[in-house]
């Protein structure tokens, strides 16, 4: 499994970034396909959000700013679960970072489909640069 780590990192980063794109976020079926059936999130606000709420909220977003992300790191928990950590932000009108957030996503490979799905996500506010 360790030999597959670079490929898995690339795959999960791509899937995570898809969730950052307005074109993906607005499509319930795509978001639902990326999220595990038992998905939940602890948002930047500290509130817990269930899967269906996240799917509906993302689909209804209007005019959301583009999300930027970097510093991706992957830790294998076992052969069917991996922790992806990174930071995200948006740019303000002056070009400075705002809403800097440290993020953690738990991805699990479903036994029935052998597909990686996002099981849990948490965003923690960090001081803006």
Backbone angles phi, psi at 28, to 5 degrees: -55, -40
Task: Give the separation between CA 102 and CA 19, rounded to whole angstroms.
Answer: 16
pLDDT tens for 50-96 read: 999 999 999 998 766 788 999 999 999 999 999 999 999 988 888 88
Pick the residue with more confidence: 2 or 53? 53
pTM, two decimal places:
0.90
Give pLDDT, residue 70. 96
32, 116, 57: which is closest to 49 by C-alpha? Answer: 57
pLDDT level of residue 129 (50, 70, 90 thresholds): low
Report the pLDDT averaged over residues 37-57. Answer: 97
- Give the N- to C-terminal CA distance of the chain in Å, as an integer: 37
Distance CA 83, CA 10 (A): 13
Task: Inform me whether the pLDDT recorded for 1 exceeds 70.
Answer: no
- Please state, rounded to an integer, the average pLDDT across all residues of the chain: 92
Strand, coil or helix: 8? helix
Domains and CATH numbers, the chain: 2-125 (3.10.450.50)
């Amino acid at each position: 499994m360790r030999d597959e780590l670079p490929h898995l990192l690339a795959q999960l980063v791509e899937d995570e970034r898809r969730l950052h794109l307005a074109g993906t976020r607005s499509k319930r079926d795509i978001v639902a396909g990326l999220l595990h059936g038992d998905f939940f999130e602890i948002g930047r606000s500290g509130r817990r959000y269930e899967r269906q709420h996240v799917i509906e909220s993302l689909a209804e977003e209007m005019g959301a700013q583009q999300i930027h992300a970097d510093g991706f790191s992957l830790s294998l928990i076992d052969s069917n679960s991996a922790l992806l950590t990174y930071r995200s932000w948006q740019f303000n009108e002056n070009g400075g970072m705002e809403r800097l957030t440290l993020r953690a996503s738990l991805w699990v490979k479903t036994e029935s489909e052998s597909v990686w799905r996002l099981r849990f996500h948490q965003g923690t506010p960090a001081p803006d640069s």
